[in-house]
């Protein structure tokens, strides 16, 4: 089961290119949602103003090599290892979700566009399942134990706010993806259609709600971290040197 392409089986009740069109629409939804979020929060204008202000306050001019080095450090610390989290559990949970999401998303695109038939390299479905499992572990760990309103504010687990939109839709997507794969392997077509419908529903909510969820935060966060390093290195920042943020 875990080594076969689950999307190839969809041709039993869906056109072969249906998922390809769907993924293209979800990519478009993310782009539109991210732009809408930037316009609403005026993020682009804010960063431009901040950069201009930092350049005026700089006491040291950074070379291209300096900025390249800072970009590498940003990728290595804030992106690749989630170094801004000083809480070890939150960092591990975040990394499981981050790398799990990359595996899940990347292999989904590869399976749907590259191998729409049954002739699929075993490694791709295996990596897809590993990504799903990583997301399930990291996501449910975060949802039940590590969310700030639950872990620190003592609020009920199922008391949801807008900030929970991303984690809820993400967990809904990967949970039903996993159940769909299992049900599909059992050969029950009716049950497969129902579970697949829930998978598509939560996946659509996940990528269609970028304007209101934290998904766009994934794109802004590295930019903010890089700009902060530039300001510190150029002497434009009055804040202490980069350290772990509060978890």
Query: Rounded to whole angstroms, how far apart are CA atoms 138 and 133?
Result: 9
Give me the tens of pLDDT residue by residue for the chain, a chain 247 residues long. 788 999 999 989 999 899 999 999 999 999 999 888 888 777 767 777 878 888 888 888 899 999 999 999 998 888 888 877 888 999 999 999 999 999 999 999 999 999 987 789 999 999 999 999 999 999 999 999 998 878 777 788 888 888 899 999 999 999 999 999 999 999 999 999 999 999 999 999 999 999 888 777 777 778 888 888 988 898 887 555 444 443 3
User: Model-level pTM?
Assistant: 0.85
Helix/strand/coil for 85: strand
Sequence-distant (≥ 6) Cβ neighbours of residue 222 within 8 angstroms:
74, 75, 78, 79
How far, in Å, are 70, 118, 130, 147, 154 from residue 138 at the CA level? 29, 30, 12, 12, 20
Q: Where are the domains of the chain?
A: 8-234
**Helix %, strand %, coil % of the chain (to 5):** 70, 0, 25
């Amino acid at each position: 089961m875990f080594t076969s392409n689950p999307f190839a089986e969809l041709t039993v009740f869906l056109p072969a290119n249906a998922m390809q069109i769907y993924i293209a629409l979800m990519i478009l939804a993310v782009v539109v949602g991210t732009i809408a979020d930037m316009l609403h929060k005026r993020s682009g204008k804010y960063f431009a103003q901040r950069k201009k202000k930092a350049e005026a306050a700089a006491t040291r001019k950074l070379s291209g090599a300096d900025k390249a080095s800072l970009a590498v450090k940003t990728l290595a610390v804030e992106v690749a290892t989630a170094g801004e989290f000083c809480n070890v559990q939150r960092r591990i949970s975040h990394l499981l979700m981050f790398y799990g999401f990359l595996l899940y998303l990347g292999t989904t695109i590869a399976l749907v566009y590259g191998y729409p038939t049954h002739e699929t390299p075993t490694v791709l479905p295996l990596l897809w399942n590993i990504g799903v499992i990583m997301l399930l572990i990291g996501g449910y760990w975060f949802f039940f134990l590590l969310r700030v309103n639950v872990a620190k504010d003592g609020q009920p687990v199922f008391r949801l706010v807008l900030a929970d939109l991303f984690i809820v839709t993400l967990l809904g997507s990967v949970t039903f993806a996993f159940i769909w794969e299992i049900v599909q392997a059992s050969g029950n077509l009716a049950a497969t259609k129902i579970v697949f419908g829930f998978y598509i529903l939560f996946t659509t909510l996940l990528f269609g709600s970028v304007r209101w969820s934290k998904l766009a935060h994934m794109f802004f966060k590295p930019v903010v971290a890089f700009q902060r390093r530039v300001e510190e290195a150029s002497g434009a920042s009055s804040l202490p040197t980069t350290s772990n943020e509060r978890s």
